[in-house]
Structure 1
């Protein structure tokens, strides 16, 4: 360890190194529960690409694992430290290097906070659409690492669709440029997409070229109450089948609604079994909401309330953004699932989750990016009760099994990390797993980049 610290010091300023164990331990894990985390040997906070390259050259020479981190808002354990590793925190690489309204791109470092980028491009009449619920704190590097989504994905798509090019430091310290700045480009294999969602296991992203869109009009939101999740899902299917393109289509079940009320005092309707939020940012959002309102009533909605102003709409959206912390307040611990199913199977997924909650005697609240079929069942339990913790883990696995059974995937946007390693193998199958491990070996033959994650 002394040799490691001395070699790192040779190419880093003193303020970039943290060796105090009382401090380094705080970099040990992200926000996922039930995930093992080790003790890092050192934390490095670089400000330049050359400093990152020095870290990777040192790690390769000494065969020391490196765990890249952003804001540690992840929910799969992908940023958890391993024993004796270098934690490479990219938070200080937080510059927006360029915004081009003509080319509609932004060039950023990995530590840029999602909301900061959105506000910066918004001042120029542009938008960076991906907006995870943690957008006020999560970083672009972390978003790229987990291929994150957000509330607006139903219309605008996920992070992968906005990453045009990357600058990546490889495991041995070499610098790789992928992708392009142009609107088109098909030269060679698409290595850019390969790094998106790789959870820091193939290289360290140090710069990203991101696509931007013109800033859309302010959206209006409709809230619809339903007597059952099945009725709400029928409305969702009708909205998509009729060709509507909402900017947001979100669902909260009764447990989630009550939790949000308890923590925020928003006064959402607690008599509803499912609350659907639908938004449009079209030239005439009121007309689109009226059409969707009719579809909701036809599907059995007991109440349909369109917002009249963007301010009212923002209040409804704040309720949805508050869902996760509200559910976390119900118990000492939560496990947050991230199962995505075809939209046509969404009702079965939510009803099946309710049966799982009853079987295991647990509170499981569900919020969902309903337009994508991406559900987030949140298992609430007492982590100090071994029996309840066991049931929580089993229910979590049962939810993932249900998702695969319905033709879905174990993760729509949170990633695999440590939490879902076994389930990734089941979803990919032996041939798929072999190919993915081969890609990992090609980029990281010594297995020093975020080892123990994904596979």
Structure 2
């Protein structure tokens, strides 16, 4: 876990001393993320309280060739906040200001704002930041932008990049620059903000983001459809997406994942391939949309179709979010070897479900679909 020591004594000349951590026990908390990748202890952690802190630290480290790894919530499972070269972890988690502009359907936030907290803040305005993610209670706006995160609602609302209007970014040498505009349409020059979304902190550190918001759905309806085979579930996905409506969320769970959740979380899921479908609307017409989804699933040979109450919807998604931690906790003597999403065009999803199983079966999570990137 330890790294080759780098002299970081200059940091207390750059930011207040109480914002710098060098105690090994404190550094260990910033050595890894939520994934299976090896941890690496940094030489120091700086807790940035604003753009000026970020700029000053990056400029000082740039002058001394000290590596810097940006970090916010640390909920990633891909290893990007791990300081593999030691040096400084730049913690932007304290930067959690939120300014809501309801008339423009925008929110201006710091990178340390937690996804669920942001939506709680937006609830009184009947707005929300839509790209729902599994780790919403941990993931931050800065991390979502760095990873171009998406999740349960991507099929209808897209990924993080679809909602980023404007960014304030600090480059490696401490320069502060801004990209984008706080409007939906702008044809004035290159869309440079899109270069930073998904760059995982390699190009600069986001210190402020202007995000486009969506109205909160007035009506939410959901159903759990079960199938005799995973191939039939794949056919149902294609049927639903070829129809006249777009679900708010559409997720696939295989029977192995369902059994795992039943054993570890008492989730009460059927032991079968299944789809969780959620529909959003602004009136009672969303109930009729459920009949359209039911017909699409029955055409694929579904063996069960149960609608869910509001409380049951939350229970279903809570179970879905627990697949990864349940897999990690299932066997204390085992580690998760690989984590990843399989992304294919919707029309090819049935082919993907028909693909030959690997010789060694694993419990894996599959996102049924993701809207094509613009």
Normalised TM-score (structure 1): 0.77
1:3: how far off? Answer: 8.8
Structure 1 distance, partners of 2:187, 2:7, is: 41
Superposition RMSD in Å: 1.9
SS of residue in 2 equivalent to 1:88: strand
**Residues 1:110 and 2:108 are matched in the alignment:** no
Q: Quote how far apart the aligned CAs of 1:330 are.
A: 2.6
Task: Say whether the 8 Å CA contact 1:53–1:174 is kept in structure 2.
Answer: yes
Aligned residue in 1 for 2:367: 369
Say yes or no: does 1:349 pair with 2:352. Answer: yes
Q: Does residue 318 in structure 1 map to residue 318 in structure 2?
A: yes
Q: Tell me the alpha carbon deviations over residues 39-88 of structure 1, each in whole angstroms, 9 at most, x when there is no partner.
A: 31111111011111110111111011100011111121111112331111
The 2-side partners of 1:150 and 1:104 are apart by 21
Aligned to 2:279: 280
Q: In structure 2, what is the Cα distance between the partners aligned to 1:234 and 1:79? A: 38
Q: Which moved more, 1:70-79 or 1:323-332?
A: 323-332
Partner SS, residue 329 of structure 1: helix
1:152 counterpart residue number: 153
- Aligned partners of 2:143 and 2:204: how far apart in 1? 13
- Separation in structure 1 between the aligned mates of residue 301 and residue 329 of structure 2, nearest angstrom: 31
Change in Cα spacing, 1:2 to 1:76, as seen in structure 2 (3 Å) is closer
Q: In structure 1, which of residues 28, 34, 40 is the aligned counterpart of residue 42 of structure 2? A: 40
Q: Do the aligned partners of residues 81 and 370 (structure 1) sit closer, same or farther apart at CA in structure 2, a change above 3 Å counting?
A: same
Q: CA deviation at 1:37?
A: 4.2
Cα deviation, residue 233, structure 1: 0.7
Q: Do the aligned residues in 2 keep the contact of 1:4 with 1:62 (CA within 8 Å)?
A: no
TM-score normalised to structure 2 length: 0.93
| Partners of 1:4 and 1:166 in 2: CA distance | 32
Q: Evaluate the alpha carbon distance shift between residue 257 and residue 110 of structure 1 in structure 2; reply closer, same or farther with a 3 A threshold.
A: same
1:189 paired with 2:190, answer yes
Q: Tell me if 1:17 matches 2:16.
A: no
Classify the secondary structure of the residue corresponding to 1:123: helix
Is there any run of 5+ residues in structure 2 with no aligned partner, and where? none
Contact residue 343 and residue 367 of structure 2 kept, 8 A: no
Name stretches of at least 5 consecutive residues in structure 1 with no aligned partner: 375-411, 413-455
1:199-233 Cα distance to aligned partner (Å, 9 max, x none)? 00000000000001222123111111101111001
**Residue pair 1:125, 1:214 contacting (<8 A) in 2 also:** yes
Residues 378-397 of structure 1 correspond to what in structure 2 (within 5 A)?
none
> 1:60, 1:172 within 8 Å by CA — same for their partners in 2?
yes
Deviation at 1:31, TM superposition (A): 2.0
Change (3 A) 1:373 1:364: farther
Report Cα offsets for 1:411-445 as digits up to 9, x if no partner.
x9xxxxxxxxxxxxxxxxxxxxxxxxxxxxxxxxx
Secondary structure of 2:206 counterpart:
strand
- Alignment match of 1:57 (pick from 43, 51, 59): 59
Count of residue correspondences? 365
Aligned CA distance change for structure 1 residues 6 and 293 (closer, same or farther; 3 Å)? same
Following superposition, the deviation at residue 36 of structure 1 comes to: 4.5
Helix, strand or coil: the match of 1:40?
A: coil
Q: Which moved more, 1:105-114 or 1:68-77?
A: 68-77
Contact kept, 8 Å, 1:249 with 1:277, in 2: the verdict is yes
Return the offset for 1:344.
2.1
Does the CA-based 8 Å contact 2:341-2:365 persist in structure 1?
no
How many Å separate the matches in 2 of 1:82 and 1:18?
A: 18
CA contact (8 A) 1:44 1:87 kept: yes
On the 8 A contact 2:158/2:370 being kept in 1, the answer is: no
Secondary structure in structure 2 of the residue aligned to 1:39: coil
* Larger mean Cα displacement after TM superposition, 12-21 or 133-142: 12-21
Residue 190 of structure 1 deviates from its aligned partner by 0.8
